Homo-oligomer: A and B are copies of this chain.
Amino acid sequence: MNFRAELVIEPQLYQLSKAGKLCVPAMNVNDSVTKQKFDNLYCCRESILDGLKRTTDVMFGGKQVVVCGYGEVGKGCCAALKAMGSIVYVTEIDPICALQACMDGFRLVKLTEVIRQVDIVITCTGNKNVVVRENLDRMKNGCIVCNMGHSNTEIDVASLRTPELTWERVRSQVDHVIWPDGKRIVLLAEGRLLNLSCSTVPTFVLSITATTQALALIELYNAPEGRYKQDVYLLPKKMDEYVASLHLPTFDAHLTELSDEQAKYLGLNKNGPFKPNYYR
């Protein structure tokens, strides 16, 4: 089950919309808060560890790792690996995410600065050709390369299909690519998404994502004529909050209720929404 399919199609929705070719209203559920935080941040925090262990049995402690991209997925990967005792470097193109990486305790580098020394390379950018043949040529023997970001474009795997390199499938989802001098790179899932190919997804996260999608469809179906045009919309904040509230009992979590006086002071309805739409 491709639970992150919308990651792929969501930029296309905006492109269709811009081009005037979107013929129905669409909901960008991928950018709802619950989806971003749970499916991307919290889920990837766990699945990066799980995916690497199941495929390579690598010990995280003391390993040097470079994570390309410090969005929600990158933040999750970095937090998990740092907690397990890895030394993590980050690459970014966006100065805001870059500054966040600095403040969270990661050296912000260009890939070429650390490529010779790292033990693991992880892509989480949503971009293409983030790791190219030139980078792969410089990695050290035994370096593990994988993609947590999107589709199969982030690592230029095609560039490794050349006559001088030998591919050896060592187990399911794990290939050794062997250079003429004997150097081996450990490529996971042939550059496709590690968390979809090599780890499991907790039912709790699936439940959050599926609830978000279902509510979006119900909203589009029930909305009165004219509420939505042929454009791309974010999930209304109140629905986002509703998805979260449905999942709190799992943790025996007890929400505080606003008093009338407090609701008035804050200018809020006691039942939400509690935040403006732009709040993350």
Contacts and interface: CB of A to CB of B under 8 A. Distances in A.
Contact of A80 (B84, B98, B113): B84
Given A95-B245, A241-B95, A248-B98, A254 B62 contact: no
A230 interface: no
A46 B38 contact: no
Contact of A60 (B46, B253, B279): B46
A256 B34 contact: no
Given A85-B105, A105-B86, A257-B93, A99 B248 contact: yes
Interface string A239-280: 011101101101111111111011001110000101111111
B102 A253 contact: yes
Contact of A57 (B64, B102, B202, B234): B202
30 contacts: A11-B266, A34-B99, A37-B100, A37-B103, A46-B59, A50-B53, A57-B200, A58-B202, A61-B105, A62-B250, A82-B105, A83-B83, A85-B103, A85-B105, A93-B256, A94-B275, A95-B242, A96-B275, A98-B255, A99-B244, A102-B253, A108-B248, A108-B253, A110-B254, A127-B265, A129-B261, A129-B262, A277-B278, A278-B278, A279-B280
